[in-house]
Structure 1
Amino acid sequence: MKNEIHHKKMTVINGGHFSDLEGFYEEISQLFMKDEDWKVGTLDGFDDTLYGVETDITWKDYQKSKEDLGLDLTKEFYENKIKQGKPFNVQLIQQKLDELIAGNGQTLFEILIEIIESHKNITLILD
């Protein structure tokens, strides 16, 4: 008998390919936006990219990404937004930065994981 199980698409995010958020966006653009003329460049943009996507995502080398996109980079991410000021809500970002420094905030890695997990048609496998 033939195997009738329908397999979902499998997408691999390779943590070895990048070490910062820009690199992550580049990786995502390669995976999901091959035929588009815009690239992912923000967290919201990343979230938008995943709408309607049905796939299993394996994040290879996720431990590396967890470190790369960890505390230091997240602090820098928020500090840059605060420096830039508008259009960013500086008070909100300062609050997020304070939480992060106090050990209660999410790192970029955790934010990315949360975005992926908010999409019900996507199964995330950390490898």
Structure 2
Amino acid sequence: MTTYVLDGGRIGTLDEFWMLMGEAVNGPGGYFGRNLDSFADCLRGGFGTPDDDGFAIDWRDHESSRRALGHPETARHLEGVLARCHPTNRARVAEELAQARGGRGPTLFCILTEIIENQAPGALRLR
């Protein structure tokens, strides 16, 4: 089984998560998603993960990542989503943004770990 190591101490923003996850799987400058949907797609295979023997993601110092990808970073992310989303989604995204600004609702860390668990059950190892 292939293990990809993610250094959570180096993650301060969602953009840094994308960069480090891409490097962990596909080497320097590697791609492994740049948004939540493409990340889920990559976890399903074909973007660097092995198809035959499976893989694990060893997320070290995940508590640092949990803090960095908390409600403030979630709110920053949602501000960008709100600026680009379809008008029919604005009310929902605005509500999610209000919750994140108030320190409520799911954080990016929670969303990312849920995506990993849904797309690659059992692959995530939080250290």
- What are the Cα deviations for residues 21-72 of structure 1, in whole angstroms up to 9, with x where unaligned? 1110001111234499856211111111110342111100100000000011
**Does the Cα contact within 8 Å between 1:32 and 1:49 map onto a contact in 2?**
no
**Does the Cα contact within 8 Å between 1:14 and 1:61 map onto a contact in 2?**
yes
- 1:23 is the counterpart of 2:16: yes
Partner of 1:60: 60
Name the structure with the higher helix share.
2
- RMSD, aligned α-carbons: 2.5
Partner of 2:81: 81
* Structure 2 unaligned regions, length at least 5: none
- 1:42 is the counterpart of 2:42: no
Deviation at 1:11, TM superposition (A): 1.3
Q: Distance in 2 between matches of 1:38 and 1:29?
A: 4
User: What is the number of residues matched between the two proteins?
Assistant: 119
Q: Distance in 2 between matches of 1:59 and 1:37?
A: 17
Which structure has the greater CA radius of gyration? Answer: 1
- One-letter code aligned to 1:46: F
Q: Distance in 2 between matches of 1:101 and 1:111?
A: 16
TM-score with structure 1 setting the length: 0.78
* Structure 1 unaligned regions, length at least 5: 1-7
Instruction: Indicate the percent of aligned positions where both proteins have the same amino acid.
Output: 29
**Does the Cα contact within 8 Å between 2:44 and 2:120 map onto a contact in 1?**
no
TM-score with structure 2 setting the length: 0.78
Deviation at 1:80, TM superposition (A): 2.6
